[in-house]
Amino acid sequence: MQDSEWKEILDEINSQGFNHKNIIDRIKEKLLAAEHQDIHRKWQRNSFDVNYLFPLQNEHIDGECTLLHLAASYGLKDLAAVLLRIGAKFNVRDQDDATPLHLAAKNGHIKVVKVLLQKGADPSLKNENGQTPINLAQNNNIRQLLQRAKKRKVLHSAILICMTVNLIVTLEVIMAMLNIAQGTVPIVIMPIMLIFTVIMIIALAITDCVIAHEALAFDIDEPNANEPSSETSEIQIEESRDIEISEV
């Protein structure tokens, strides 16, 4: 099925409205209306799975992708959100090992990028060429958003490690206290264990604060297309001055 046909179908569905209850039926209807009974039949054999790999052809590729890949590629934020709600996998791969996040970043769709990241899409995954969504990002806003999300992922891993270590240390302290009470361990070990526990709790608190700070600053507003850049404003000011001088 041609890329242009998919875009026409999904754009039409997007303009007419849909929800999580009828989106699959709407797509089925459009496939039949476009005389793609063969694709409909194969999808039906897979129980109309939202993560089914559909055929996709254009001048560059002849492969397969999911509905979420298509929504991400075309910048259909609402459709992407609904597909995720009904079970679409946010890290699903296409024939090039690209995720929907790769396609949204590559095509400059920051709203879709935000939706995918909020649902847990991984910005560090690589396609078959070893590229992450950050490598493919078409503008600085998307690149910064992905880098921040990647940093958050690292911080979350760090806090999980801290929590695990803290739990282990706490259990060790409890065991040491029991052994001290039984007289099997010297009492001098107790202060050492307590100090180590306090250090781990402080490290955990610091990591948690950093993550909270990153969460507050997570969203990056899209640039306002109607707002002129500082460079444009300066040029307009200079032109105005030239006009005033010529009139004088």
Q: Are residues 127 and 17 in the same domain?
A: yes
Q: Which residues, including other chains, have CB under 8 Å from residue 146's CB and lie 6 or more apart?
A: 101, 105, 113, 117, 123, 132, 133, 134, 137
- Two structure tokens written together for 193: 């264990």
Distance CA 151, CA 134 (A): 12
Of the candidates 171, 189, 172, the residue with the CA atom closest to the CA atom of residue 180: 189
Helix (H) or strand (E) holding 65: strand 62-65
Asked if 83 and 68 touch (Cβ cutoff 8 Å), the reply is yes
| Domain final residue pick, 138, 158, 193 | 138
Q: Are residues 123 and 176 in the same domain?
A: no
Angle at CA of residue 55, ends 26 and 22, nearest 5°:
15
What is the residue range of 20's domain?
Answer: 3-138
- Two structure tokens written together for 242: 């030239």
The residues that bridge with 63 in the sheet, in sequence order, are 56
66-78 mean pLDDT: 95
At 123, the amino acid letter reads: P
Q: Are residues 120 and 165 in the same domain?
A: no
Q: Are residues 31 and 93 in the same domain?
A: yes
Helix (H) or strand (E) holding 245: helix 230-247
Coil, strand or helix: which one is 217?
Answer: coil
Of the candidates 91, 155, 151, 153, the residue with the CA atom closest to the CA atom of residue 121: 91
Query: How many CA atoms within 13 Å lie on the side-chain side of 150?
Result: 15
Distance CA 210, CA 208 (A): 5
**What CATH number is given to the structural domain containing 32?**
1.25.40.20
Distance CA 124, CA 217 (A): 20
Higher pLDDT, 25 or 223: 25
> What total of structural domains would you count in the chain?
2
Distance CA 206, CA 159 (A): 9
Give residue 189's pLDDT.
64
Q: Are residues 115 and 183 in the same domain?
A: no
Asked whether residue 203 carries a pLDDT value surpassing 50, the answer given is yes
Q: Are residues 101 and 153 in the same domain?
A: no
Q: pLDDT tens for residues 78-96?
A: 999 999 999 999 999 998 8
Q: pLDDT tens for residues 8-54?
A: 999 999 888 899 899 999 999 999 888 899 999 999 999 999 999 99
Of the candidates 63, 66, 61, 179, the residue with the CA atom closest to the CA atom of residue 116: 66
**pLDDT band for position 244 (50/70/90)?**
very low
Of the candidates 84, 82, 54, the residue with the CA atom closest to the CA atom of residue 66: 54
125-134 mean pLDDT: 94
Give residue 167's pLDDT.
73
Higher pLDDT, 16 or 200: 16
How far from each other are the two terminal CA atoms of the chain, in whole angstroms?
65
| Domain final residue pick, 138, 164, 183 | 138
